[in-house]
Structure 1
Amino acid sequence: MKFWSIVYAIGAAQAALLALALWRRPVNAAGNRVLAAWIALVGFDLAVKAGYFGAPGADWLKPFRFVGLFPFFYGSAFYLYVRTLAEGRGLRRGDFVHLAGFVFALAANADVFFYDRAQSQALYARLVGGHGWPQSPWLDALLFGFGVSYVIAALFLARRYRERLRDSRSDADAMSLRWIDAMAWSQIVIWCIALAQWLFRIPWIDYPLIYGALAAWVFLIGYLSLSQAAIAPPPPAAVPANDADAPAADDPRFPAVEARLSQLMAQEQLYREPALTIGQLAKRSGYPEYLVSAVINRRFDGHFWDYINRQRIEAASRHLADADDARTILDIAYACGFTSKSTFNAAFKRQLGQTPSAYRQSKASGPREG
């Protein structure tokens, strides 16, 4: 067991350094602080495992059991991390309900934490003899179902976020939470290893291997989380016409702003800039951002990203209908401000009711003059 003790100690040290780096990282600060706290708990878990397997004995029994219940909130912590990124908000008081699984497991094992030394030694002897912990195996089955359900919920949350982002932005791929899939599936693999060990007692799959996988997972988290791009908040809703904070509908500057925006799109083709923001558009227009936003919402029927994507799709459709334009569809999409084929296809079909390739084909096969 000395080998596993060293592995766990290395993983615990890595987790401590990673938690500190994540806590101080300004990109996606709210999500990274959730992740930092979670990784710190993983580090504490691995440190206790390192001590237990390095010098096993009854003295380590209570802390070992305590951290053995941590997986009851690993799944929920992952869900809260993904939600923080996807919804652009920090934790709230009501989020403590997600600790219910751990609190329940802790209560179910409360008697173990009040054992005297003789009882702890007797329990340790039972464990060494091949017997399971109290409340096993039903607690193990509950743990598996509880943890995996949260991981799956996080995957669905990330998927909805991607769909919403793809519908509203052209630079969606860089912020699409792709690393979340790797984090989620690696956790599910660890859960499956634990389930296989519990159900079938495969000789080469044992408890140390499970936590060895956890230590390796910490390194994966470190690589993925520290290289993540800044995540965009959810697309803003259109400002209603009766919003008290917005300019009045008869603001005399509206026609001038509308004309200036049309000029920037038609002549300067600002929509071709993939990372264009409403702040940049307002600066180029020479009008305040709140006024530009109000004009887009009221005169162009949608929020900023609706407006920009319409400009991009209209430009792309003109190029696709041009028989003399021999560029590929992807080249045209990039030229019009999109950064990925999937985002372009989704926006194009939503606006024109058919895919770019079908649109180009229909224009090519249409009636020709002469």
Structure 2
Amino acid sequence: MVRLRLAAIRISIRSAMPLTPWTFVYFAGAVQAALLALALWRRPANRQANRLLSVWVALTGIDLAVKALYWHLLTPEWFRAYRFVALFPFLYGSLFYLYVRALTRGRRFRPGDVMHLAGFGVMLVLNGYVFVMDRAHLQALSARWIAGERSVGAWFDVPLFLYSLSYVLAALARVRGYRQRLRERRSDADRTSLRWIDVMAGFQVVIWCVAIVQALVYLPVLNYGLLFGLVAAWVCAMGWFSLAQPPVSAELPLPTPAPPGEADVPLTDDARYAAVEARLAQLMDGEAPLYLEPALTIGQVARRSGYPEYLVSAVINRRLGGSFWDYVNRLRVEAVRARLADPAEARTILDIAYACGFTSKSTFNAAFKRQVGETPSGYRRRFAAGARSAA
């Protein structure tokens, strides 16, 4: 009690505290968030997704600004605002999920999506007593926070962590499904693999892990200042990745399904499978093989083959192994191997890879190493050494 009274006296005799290093970090993060939110709102690429992201970043900026002002002023009035923004993390996970959904499906926020904000609404009601509390009780509550009691309680922290992390995991599951569907449909799936989403999610998981540790045990390093310092750093990372993101096409429409009962026909009983496989070999082995086209889709291959897309997809998955993306990249790797083994080939390895249809250096290197068992440069050196010894 003495400790609380002393804290209350400090509040009453001082209207402000000196600015701490963390306060500067919070203010800087808030300014960065405001500028980023404005840029994202006006960005034409991925408009629906970026407007959701803009709202999310703006809320984060308000969160940081209110925390900075409260810890500088230490007044009960600002404590009300402090407790209000303390509820914002109940929005962050769900907004991340809605952002990923908008990015992958091109779907704007709809009235029914309000259900994803239910966690914030429930906690707003449960914490409503703080917003109607008289000044004396509010001052005492603020004093406890200043004295070191920074947690509302387990009844608040546990639902917050579980609720928010569940939305982050749901967003990652949606990204995983999106990537799988892209690999089934497009040979340039690496162009829109949404790798920055992994970074955004990873940053959030780190922040939530620090928050969980900070709530369970006291560690001088993992303190409250560091937690929201990481949030300010996250805003800067968001600026880098979100403004550099390429336009993302919504998922392609699903192919026309197989007629009823045809999808259940055993592979050995459908003579068309062999014909489709032969036709694919013809398209991929001609003078101008289709796999050289960087943005090749399974729909384009189906139209060139003269067979329905569902049948071409079934042949690739069941007879040729893997997704459409895997199938095309295997052909591209073999084409690169043939050129690397040619002593007269003077182009760089990357130029050869791009000429054979690859759209990403990392995708090419990974596919080549997985299929051949060595790096492209090592493969080329081995053949060059063999050619010199033969001469």
Deviations 1:249-270 (A, max 9, x none): xxxxxxxxxxxxx999955545
Q: 2:171 aligns with which of 136, 140, 154?
A: 154
SS at match of 2:241: helix
Classify 1:265/1:300 alpha carbon distance in 2 versus 1 (closer, same or farther; 3 Å): farther
Under a length normalisation based on structure 1, what TM-score does the superposition of the two structures give?
0.73
CA contact (8 A) 1:265 1:271 kept: no
How many corresponding residue pairs?
Answer: 323
Distance 1:77 1:31 in 2: 10
Q: Check 1:22–1:312 CA distance in 2 against 1; reply closer, same or farther (3 A cut).
A: same
Matching residue's letter, 1:108: L
Q: 1:183 aligns with which of 195, 200, 204?
A: 200
Residues 132, 357 of structure 1: CA spacing in aligned structure 2 closer, same or farther, 3 A cutoff? closer
User: Structure 1 residues 275 and 147 mapped into 2: Cα distance closer, same or farther (>3 Å)?
Assistant: same
> Could you tell me which of 39, 43, 67 is aligned with 1:21?
39
* Structure 1 segment 114-193 matched on structure 2, within 5 A: 114-131=132-149, 134=152, 136-193=153-210
Tell me what 2:294 maps to.
274
In structure 2, distance between residues paired with 1:178 and 1:314: 22
Query: Is the aligned partner of 1:85 residue 2:103?
Result: yes
> What's the offset of the Cα at 1:138?
2.1
For residue 112 of structure 2, what is the aligned residue in structure 1? Answer: 94
Cα distance in 1 for partners of 2:159, 2:252 equals 37
RMSD: 4.0
Report Cα offsets for 1:148-204 as digits up to 9, x if no partner.
Answer: 121122222212222221232222222111111111111111111111111111123
Answering whether residue 94 of structure 2 is matched by residue 40 of structure 1, we say no
Deviation of 1:76 after TM superposition, in Å, equals 1.0
Unaligned runs of 5+ in 2: 1-17, 260-281, 318-322, 374-391
Structure 2 length-normalised TM: 0.69
Distance 1:16 1:81, change over 3 A: same
Structure 2 CA distance for partners of 1:263 and 1:204, relative to 1, 3 Å: closer
Q: Provide the rounded CA distance (Å) in 2 between the counterparts of 1:130 and 1:318.
A: 64
How far did residue 311 of structure 1 move? 9.5
Q: Is the 8 A contact 1:9 1:50 kept in 2?
A: yes
Distance 2:27 2:246 in 1: 30
Distance in 2 separating the partners of 1:329 and 1:167: 27
Which structure 1 residue ranges, 5 or more long, are not aligned? 243-261, 282-291, 349-354, 359-370
The answer to whether the Cα contact below 8 Å between 1:38 and 1:77 also exists between their aligned partners in 2 is yes
Cα gap change, 1:171/1:111 in structure 2, threshold over 3 Å: closer, same or farther? same
Matches within 5 A, 1:290-305: 297=308, 301=312
1:14-72: per-residue Cα shift (whole Å, max 9, x none)?
A: 10110111111111111111101100111111111121122111111111000011001
Aligned equivalent of 2:357: 337
Q: CA 1:309/1:222 → structure 2, altered by over 3 Å: closer, same or farther?
A: closer
- CA gap of 1:207–1:321, structure 2 versus 1, over 3 A, is closer
Q: Residues of 2 paired with 1:126 and 1:321: CA distance?
A: 69
- 1:191-250 per-residue CA deviation (whole Å, 9 max, x = no partner) reads 1111111111112332222111101110000001111112132132224699xxxxxxxx
- CA 1:274–1:5: 2 relative to 1, 3 Å: same
What is the distance in 1 between the residues matched to 2:150 and 2:117?
A: 25
Partner of 1:72: 90
**8 Å CA contact retained: 1:272, 1:337:** yes
Contact 2:187 2:297 survives alignment (8 Å): no
Structure 1 residues 53 and 130: CA distance shift in structure 2, 3 A: closer
Which residue in 1 is equivalent to 2:255?
238
2:361, 2:293 → 1: CA distance? 16
**Any conservation in 2 of the 1:30–1:84 contact (CA below 8 Å)?**
yes
**Cα distance in structure 2, aligned partners of 1:44 and 1:295:** 57
Conservation of the 8 A alpha-carbon contact between 1:16 and 1:39? yes
- Which letter maps to 1:175? T
In the other structure, the counterpart of 2:30 is 12
Aligned 8 A contact 2:185 2:298 in 1: no
8 Å Cα contact 1:25-1:32 kept in structure 2? yes
Task: Supply the AA of the counterpart residue of 1:339.
Answer: T
Calculate percent identity across the aligned residue pairs: 49
